[in-house]
Structure 1
Amino acid sequence: MAQFLKPRRWAAALPLLLALVAADSPNPTNPGRIEHLGDFPSRFVKARNVDVWLPDGYPQPGTRYAVLYMHDGQNLFDPKKAGYGVAWEIDSTLAVLGQQGKVRPCIVVGIWNTERRFPEYTPAKPYYAMSAAQRTQIELERPGPPLSDDYLKFIVRELKPYVDQHFPTSPRRADTFVAGSSMGGLISLYAALEYPKVFGGAACFSTHWPLSLKANSPAFTSAIVQYLGQKLPRRRKPKLYFDYGSATLDAWYEPHRLRVDSVLRAHHYGPGTWQTRSFPGAPHNEAAWKKRTPLALQFLLRR
């Protein structure tokens, strides 16, 4: 059974943990560089921008880099491009963790979203497991059937082969991960379970289990629970990181997370393959996720 700190203890420990991460090494003056792939084409989805972050000193002779694929790519590096003016600054965070020797060499592939974000990030199989009435209610608010299966085909069949061909990556499952927040958390979990031979783990920040922005309904969570029961592997378990706050939209999430956690426990997930973190008071935004990335990155990418 996974062991987790109680929320109050996490609230007390988090500032110290983040201070230790920052104190071990100053923010790097050169966190690396970004190669921008504009309007990356696809047979499956609409073309979109992709940013590939390469760490300082890249390429290191003889090094094969792990790869972290992340959704909402315009929000990752540059506050000027971020949708709400705040970026995750994951390049700086990874640079510090790399200098400290806490993660293995890694590049980040930031996949920009489009106006089709909601259908592309909605896991199709759980969605269609809901009743027709439940799906209709969601589509009245957020129109469009899921496009997630095509979106994942784009990543796995088109983008990943390009990245592996043009950069010195380690294409192995054990070195390939996916991450995102909110709806991006849902599609990250879906990617890890639909393509277990491709992705070795997923980081899901403030996963938006209800799908709706108007009603905190358990319908989709019930479908996800059923889906997890069918898809969670007995062997070669992907690493799964989940977290959530308690303010703004995150205030909805704890009952959903408890149900998902129970399924993971029943499938014998433990500390080496699964973490769920609670951050009392944390809201649903990039600034909150930025603070939590060191925990998720060390879980996925530890040496």
Structure 2
Amino acid sequence: MPILRHTLIGAAALALAANAAATTVRIHYDAGQSRLMVRGDKGPMTWSKGAPAAAAGANVWVYSWPDALGDISMKPSLGDGRVAIGGTYRLAAGSTADIYPFFGAPQGKLSIVDGFESPQLKNKRKLRIYLPPSYQENPAKRYPVLYMHDGQNLFDAKTAAYGVEWGIDETVDRLVAAGKLDEIIVVGIDNTPERIPEYTPCCDPKHGGGKLDGYRAFIVDTLKPHIDKTLRTLPGRESTAIMGSSLGGVASVAIAQRHPGVFSKAGGVSSSFWWNNRDMIANLPARVPVKFYIDAGTKDDGLEETVRMRDAMLAKGYREGADLLFHAADGAGHNEKSWAARVEKPLLWFFPWRGVKN
């Protein structure tokens, strides 16, 4: 009787919605022999018991309710038991939302691509690609992408330069499970023996450099098209970010300045803005439509130059908290341990829960 009652209530809600302005959720998921239910805070939905969604084609489930109920908070469940992992969905009255849930363990998987070739730089390197928890479970879903430099240091202490990893995968898993972060793909790009030249514009009096244009072209013209072709990405600029630390921060900021049509977000963590007598600060280009995150620790980490960069960006028209986020990390130094401790700051600013639409 309880199951029949909920079925009738759900059908009544759908019928009522059909005759009035309706708020609708479309749930994209292969439920197999199970049924998608909708839990929520109003109407026939409750947080303890779901109302049944209606099958509406291959692996699509639909549930509607009258706009008169106002804004709704909801989550899908698989049958009466398993509730979707991640945050709560908030739907405005009158809206129609497509959602792509998952119900399995909130743990992504790492894959390694050996010998990925760069025709621009005439060398090869590994890619370390983090695929989010739902990637295998829900093949209808597509994902934003974060490109990161120094891939050896991101996921595994055994390959990290100084034996300490960023722990990007663990951080993303934790924030996704807590409902704070959208699922993302992370593409870690290994550095090569040419790291300093590849990450820098020309030319520092002491360190040289100057192959950044080739590295930039490798990412924009070779790597990104490959990732978009082989993985289920959201390829648009609004879903694409680039981030790195130290010289990798310099590379990230410079590449996004050059390609705002490709990247809408760029993170410079402990960036080496001292490079070439602070040339990037002195010759900052005009404001571009990119959200920049820049930071530095207070312990021998180039904070003075990062503050100068922030001030120069503000003078160009960037707005603190809107398209520029600056952070001074108290007591932090120039190392992976410090970066791991605060990497959630740019992640949450770039990809907050429900920040990017599939």
* Residue 70 of structure 1: how far off its partner (Å): 0.2
How far the C-alpha of 1:30 sits from its partner, in A, is: 6.0
Aligned 1:90-169 pairs, distance under 5 A: 90-124=168-202, 127=203, 135=204, 137-138=205-206, 142=207, 144-169=208-233
Shift of 1:119: 0.5
- Matches of 1:145 and 1:75, distance apart in 2: 22
Match of 2:326 among 254, 276, 296: 276
| Aligned counterpart for 2:112 among listed residues 31, 36, 51 | 36
Runs of at least 4 residues of structure 1 off by over 3 A?
Answer: none
Answer yes or no: is 1:52 the counterpart of 2:52.
Answer: no
For structure 2, the 5+ residue unaligned runs are 1-86, 88-103
- What is the alpha-carbon distance in structure 2 between the residues aligned to residue 175 and residue 54 of structure 1? 15
The structure 2 residue matched to 1:227, chosen from 283, 308, 312, is 283
Give the CA deviation at 1:99.
1.6
TM-score (norm 2): 0.66
* One-letter amino acid of the counterpart of residue 168, structure 1: R
Letter in 1 for 2:343: T
**Distance in 1 separating the partners of 2:183 and 2:344:** 15
What is the number of equivalent residue pairs in this alignment?
248
Structure-2 change in CA distance of 1:206 and 1:262 (3 Å): same
Identity of aligned residues (%): 36
Displacement, 1:281?
Answer: 1.2
CA contact (8 A) 2:245 2:270 kept: yes
> 2:265, 2:108 → 1: CA distance?
24
Kindly indicate whether residue 307 of structure 2 is the aligned counterpart of residue 258 of structure 1.
yes
Task: Identify the match of residue 344 of structure 2 among 271, 294, 300.
Answer: 294
Give the secondary-structure state (helix, strand or coil) at the position aligned to 1:149.
helix
1:175 to 216, 239, 243: 239
> Equivalent residue for 1:214?
none
TM-superposed deviation, 1:160: 0.5
Deviations 1:107-130 (CA, angstroms, capped at 9, x unpaired): 000000011000111134xx4xxx
In structure 2, do the counterparts of structure 1 residues 61 and 35 end up closer, same or farther at CA, with 3 Å as the change threshold? same
Q: Deviations over 1:25-44 (max 9, x none)?
A: xxx97632112110101211
Q: Distance in 2 between matches of 1:243 and 1:261?
A: 9
Q: In structure 2, what is the equivalent of residue 14 of structure 1?
A: none
The alignment's C-alpha RMSD in Å is: 1.8
Say which of 275, 295, 300 aligns to 1:243: 295
**Aligned-residue offset at 1:102:** 1.7
Match for residue 73 of structure 2?
Answer: none
Q: Which has the higher contact order (CA 8 A, sep 6+)?
A: 1
Alignment-derived partner of residue 165 in structure 2: 87
Distance 1:29 1:288 in 2: 28
Which of these two proteins has the greater Rg computed from alpha carbons?
2
Higher helix proportion, which one? Answer: 1
Residues in 2 aligned to 1:94 and 1:145: alpha-carbon distance in whole angstroms = 33
What residue identity is the alignment partner of 2:277?
Answer: F
The letter for the 2-side match of 1:227 is N
Output one character per residue of 1:77-119: Cα deviation in whole Å (capped at 9) or x when no partner. 0111111111011001011111222222210000000110001
Contact 2:286 2:316 in 1 (8 A): no
Specify the code of the residue in structure 1 equivalent to 2:281.
Answer: V
